[in-house]
Amino acid sequence: MELYNVKGKQQTANILLGCLVLFLLSVLCPAEKLCTVSPDPVSIKENSTVDVLVARITCSDDVQLTVTENPAEAFYLRGTDLIAKRGLDFESLPRVDDALWVRVRCNRTGSRSVNVSVEVFIENVNDNPPNFAQSHYVLQVNELTPVNTSVGRIEATDIDSEPLYYRLESATNRYLRLENANTPNILVQNIIDYDSVQKISLVLHVQDTYNVSESGEPSFTAVVTITVNVKDIDNRPPWFQPCVRTNLGIAKLCVSSGYRAKVNLTEKEDGALSLEPGPLYAKDGDRNRSEMINYRIIRGNEGSIFQIDEETGNISMAKAADIAGPITLTVLASQVTNRDQFAVTQVTIEVLRKSRNPPRFEKERYEGYIYSNSVPETMILRDRTSNRPFRVRARDEDFATGVNPDMRYEVQYSSYVNVTNEGFVLLKRIVKTESFALQIRAMDLSTGEFGTAALSVLVIPAVAVPLPSGAGYRAGDMALLGLIMAAILVLCFIVIGFLISRLKKGGANLDKITECLAPCLKMTRPQGRPKDTLQYTNDGYQGTEGDALRCRPRRPEPVDKRGRGATVPGDRGRAIPLERRRSDRHCGFCGLYANHNAKPGPACSPAMGGGRGEGGDKDGVRSILAKGGRKEGGKSVWFKENEDASGIEVEIIPDTLGQEEETEEEVLDMEEVEEGDRSMSSQTEIDGGHGDQESRGESDSAAKEEKEKEG
């Protein structure tokens, strides 16, 4: 039974489904044949200047077409053609997924109507400019805002939905910048100081194309002005006034030199003290802020002598000061709302003994004189007849001597003269009037008291050119003279150094040179240093009348062994230190150091010297100087006859024996002289008496010269 019911229901459903299919086929098949249209979507540009064919509907002539759905009445039918009207605006048309659907109904008598749809896309064209919400924007930024901090974002809109490009313009802007070309976010580029800039004006440009010249597409722009106000923040402490401003990097400082005041010892002044350079006052270091400031003494007020008004900063005395000298107060100024912003300064108060007498001049009026041709820096004269300078003096009776070390003079009401601290009046510029008057003031710098006196200066004609004060002795002249003297001194040192170097290179003995130049330069030899002993051999001397040398022939001049043909050094009168001579050079006959060989001979014996006087000069030695003729400091000269007739030896005996060493060259020359003496002795014995007459003549000449010297 149940199975039968199920089968019956299934058959009923199949019958109903078949009927529905037959009904639909009967309806649709004739509609497909009534009208048709292309199923592809159609695309057209907005803002077209003419009507545009959108689609063509295919149908028989007896079919009527009607637009049933027409968005914004933008379409119409022209026969079987669907036409879009001109000037369609993409932004004003209602769109469904950016498409417009146009529906057309097809009707025919005796047939059911059929609807066909056409999908139309309107292409958007860049035909609208970007737009800002406001024409002017105002932004705020704090000074000292960190770099890259955003100040504000100003963005434009474009109904064409194109990407926009921004540009920030400012001829003087170096503090702000844009984040990038597509993001109109304004950032801080450099630290902004309120004291330097308080307002920044900007112009922001926007356009809907990046590069108009390359794309060739139409471009639209928009402009907006921006004002950025800089806010002054509380970043600086109070500044005591007056002060000197200075920069330390981006920080600004204002340095105060402090304050000064004077009070009398054991006296209490009423009211606020008068300070220099002005009253104690501090203001907020921030230019556009006026924070309330309090004052307080934090150091130096031992004994609570002074007190300060916390609001005004005025300093007054609570009691008299009992100790003379300076008192230094340290004053603190701080903001009431922010105690971290503070500054300190010093107030130096001089406690002075009270002055009972101000400075006073000796006269109330003075007269001075100046020549008409006087030059600047000439002193004002005291009278007409003398060149004594004019001088003013002021006394201070508070001092026993009347001289106040803190007193200074100054000139008032005249530009012709200056006054020195000593009271002398000096001309500043050339005077072109017959007279001028001025006032001199003497001020006590410690108390501020002063006294005045009048001075009248009469310009008198110059009888003779007066010597200006300090003429030829000015600082510039003295400096030039010193420079010249220094140059001369340096030149002298150079010359002396050059001469010393030449002397050292030549091997000369400085002591001998000094001794030779002493008579010319009137120099005396230093005491305590021994003099050199000199020996002079006069080989050309042949004796005097009555001498035994007349019987001996003249010794010929020896030839230098080295073959140079020079005479024996003894002919030039060699000087040899006595203590350096060899022991074999000592003459045993006369007891002196001699440059000869002491060989006693029969021809020249002591008996032959009868012509020398009764004294009988022993050892054949006699003086050629008179006893009274020798001057102090001179040298004695002695002649000694040589028995071998080699010559007469002259011995110059100095006051003190020398200590100088003999050089190797002198030793060599002495040895040559000894050999020459031996050869000369041999040659003389061979020659015999051939030269007796010639010897006598030369001996006579030598004797005459000797007598002249003794005379």
The DSSP-derived string for 300-330 is S-TTS-EEE-TTT--EEESS---S-EEEEEE
CB-hemisphere CA count at 13 Å for 146?
2
CA nearest to 192, candidates 184, 200, 180: 200
Do residues 329 and 349 touch, judged by C-beta distance below 8 A?
Answer: yes
Q: What strands lie across the sheet with 407-412, from one edge to the other?
A: 365-371, 450-460, 435-444, 407-412
Task: Using the Cα atoms of residue 278, residue 283, residue 286 and residue 290 in order, give the sign of their dihedral.
Answer: negative
Residue 491 has pLDDT above 50, yes or no: yes
Do residues 148 and 187 touch, judged by C-beta distance below 8 A?
Answer: yes
Q: Given the DSSP bridges, would you call strands 342-352 and 259-264 parallel, antiparallel or unpaired?
A: parallel
Give the per-residue pLDDT at 22: 57
Determine which helix (DSSP H) or strand (DSSP E) holds 29, and give its type and residue range. Answer: helix 2-32
Give the per-residue pLDDT at 176: 92
> CA-based angle 9:15:18, to the nearest 5?
140
Give the per-residue pLDDT at 508: 55
Distance, first Cα to last Cα, the chain: 206
Q: What is the average per-residue pLDDT within 428-433?
A: 91
Give the per-residue pLDDT at 203: 93
pLDDT category of residue 412 using cuts at 50, 70 and 90: very high
pLDDT digits (tens, 9 = 90+) for 378-393: 999 999 888 899 999 9
- CA distances from residue 119 to 69, 84, 103, 229 in whole angstroms, order as listed: 12, 12, 9, 55
pLDDT digits (tens, 9 = 90+) for 314-369: 999 999 998 888 999 999 999 998 888 999 999 999 998 888 889 999 999 999 99
Query: Which residues on neighbouring strands pair with residue 120, listed in sequence order?
Result: 42, 100
Give the per-residue pLDDT at 121: 86
Do residues 586 and 641 touch, judged by C-beta distance below 8 A?
Answer: no
Q: How far is 573 from 590, CA to CA, in rounded Å?
A: 20
Give the per-residue pLDDT at 516: 56
Residue 202 has pLDDT above 70, yes or no: yes
Residue 293 has pLDDT above 90, yes or no: yes
- CA distances from residue 599 to 39, 59, 90, 641 in whole angstroms, order as listed: 170, 183, 158, 11
Q: Given the DSSP bridges, would you call strands 176-178 and 185-188 parallel, antiparallel or unpaired?
A: antiparallel
Q: Show the tokens assigned to 259.
A: 């304050």
pLDDT digits (tens, 9 = 90+) for 599-621: 444 433 333 344 344 434 444 44
Residue 370 identity (one-letter amino acid): I
Q: Could you tell me which residue, 577 or 423, shows the higher pLDDT?
A: 423
Beta carbons within 8 Å of 91's beta carbon, 6+ residues apart: 124, 128, 159, 160
- State the burial class of residue 331 (Cβ atoms within 10 Å of its Cβ: 0-12, 13-18, 19+): buried
Residue 377 identity (one-letter amino acid): E
Q: Given the DSSP bridges, would you call strands 450-460 and 365-371 parallel, antiparallel or unpaired?
A: parallel
* Helix, strand, coil percentages for the chain (3-state, nearest 5): 20, 30, 45
Give the per-residue pLDDT at 472: 47
Q: How far is 154 from 224, CA to CA, in rounded Å?
A: 9
Residue 667 has pLDDT above 80, yes or no: no
Give the per-residue pLDDT at 709: 53
pLDDT over 90, % of the chain: 32
Q: Which residue has the tokens 């100081």?
A: 193
Give the per-residue pLDDT at 704: 56
Give the per-residue pLDDT at 694: 44
Q: What is the average per-residue pLDDT within 517-534?
A: 48
Task: Using the Cα atoms of residue 490, residue 496, residue 501 and residue 502 in order, give the sign of their dihedral.
Answer: positive
Beta carbons within 8 Å of 171's beta carbon, 6+ residues apart: none
Beta carbons within 8 Å of 406's beta carbon, 6+ residues apart: 444, 445, 446
Do residues 119 and 41 touch, judged by C-beta distance below 8 A?
Answer: yes
Residue 46 identity (one-letter amino acid): E
Chain centre to alpha carbon of residue 291: 42
Q: Cβ–Cβ contacts within 10 Å for residue 158, how many?
A: 18
Lowest mean pLDDT across 54-58, 183-187, 695-699: 695-699
pLDDT mean across residues, the chain: 74
Residue 227 identity (one-letter amino acid): T
Give the per-residue pLDDT at 279: 92
Supply the DSSP symbol for 525. Answer: P
Q: Given the DSSP bridges, would you call strands 360-361 and 621-623 parallel, antiparallel or unpaired?
A: unpaired
Q: How far is 252 from 10, CA to CA, in rounded Å?
A: 101
Q: What is the average per-residue pLDDT within 219-232?
A: 92
Q: How far is 429 from 427, CA to CA, in rounded Å?
A: 6
297: left (phi over 0), alpha (psi -120 to 50) or beta: beta
Do residues 627 and 708 touch, judged by C-beta distance below 8 A?
Answer: no
Do residues 130 and 156 touch, judged by C-beta distance below 8 A?
Answer: yes
Give the per-residue pLDDT at 156: 93
- State the burial class of residue 624 (Cβ atoms within 10 Å of its Cβ: 0-12, 13-18, 19+): middle
Q: Which residue has the tokens 């041999």?
A: 682
What values do phi and psi take at 668, rounded to 5?
-65, -40
